[in-house]
Amino acid sequence: MAGTLTRLFLAYFVIATLGSKFFRLYPKIIYHLAVVGLLIYGITLIPGIGDFLLNSISPIFVSPFDESGQFYKAHRTMLVYNLEHVESLRNSGPFWEPGAYAIFLIFAQILRYDGRNFFDKQGIILFVSVITTFSTSGYIGEFLFLIMILLNKRSLLSKIAIPVLLVAGFFIYSEVDFLERKIEQNIIVADYNTSSRFGSAVADFYDFIESPIIGYGRGEQRYAGRKYVSFSAEFHRNNGLSDLFVTYG
């Protein structure tokens, strides 16, 4: 109960305190984090630097609340940058995983976009940061955002660009191995492995329709009465949007 109320009141107080300033400050904060993230990400591409940061720098920032054996383990981090995915050459920024970082970046792009500034200095930094996450969900979100931008423009060039972008998107999906293979694999294993966002969404949907009004809360009976503590990595839920419906109804 305390955790739930804290989350709700945090959102309320942010809105009450910042008001419309939120739409200006959020993209600005994410932009500066993206600049720092790209600088550190670029450094980690140099052979040996990533290992040095992981083994010599991240121990300085070990969380005092880290407990071994827990499902959620503290990541190796420099506070302003998460080093956990350095070995896979993916950019997590300061967040817990590249996929989450991509979503924060896309929200910043949406909130700052005024019809003309997608490819200004800040726009390019945010766009490149999304690309460096190598996140399937991030790429899909970025693609849909670009389509929405073009649909809202009235010029002939933008109308021509839409089918070109669709063809390019299909080509990239077919040729970039991690996109096609990952999406198809997520669909195949959705019935018995919910560790992917797609698998989580499918499982959350079936749980949601069993208790659509009030959900299951955040206690031991979450996930349709199956104790959360008994979940393995294969049955972990990680689709934030669908989880909100299951938890709160």
- Give the DSSP letter of residue 150: H
Please answer whether residues 128 and 143 qualify as being in contact, where contact means their C-beta atoms are separated by less than 8 angstroms: no
Which residues of the chain are modeled with pLDDT < 50?
A: none
Q: Which of 179, 240, 249, 185 is nearest to 217 (CA)?
A: 249
d(CA 247, CA 34): 31
User: And the tokens for 222?
Assistant: 């979450």
Cβ partners under 8 Å of residue 60, min gap 6: none
Looking at residue 125, its pLDDT comes to 96
CA count, 13 A, side-chain hemisphere, 248: 10
Identity of the amino acid at 71? F
Looking at residue 223, its pLDDT comes to 63
Helix (H) or strand (E) holding 68: none
Label each residue of 204-216 as H, E or C: HHHHHHHCCCCCC
> Rounded to two decimals, what is the model's pTM?
0.78
Looking at residue 122, its pLDDT comes to 93
The CA R_g of the chain, rounded to the nearest whole Å, is 20
Residue 67's region, left for phi above 0, alpha for psi from -120 to 50, else beta, is beta
Crossing angle between the packed helical segments 136-151 and 121-133, to the nearest 10 degrees: 140
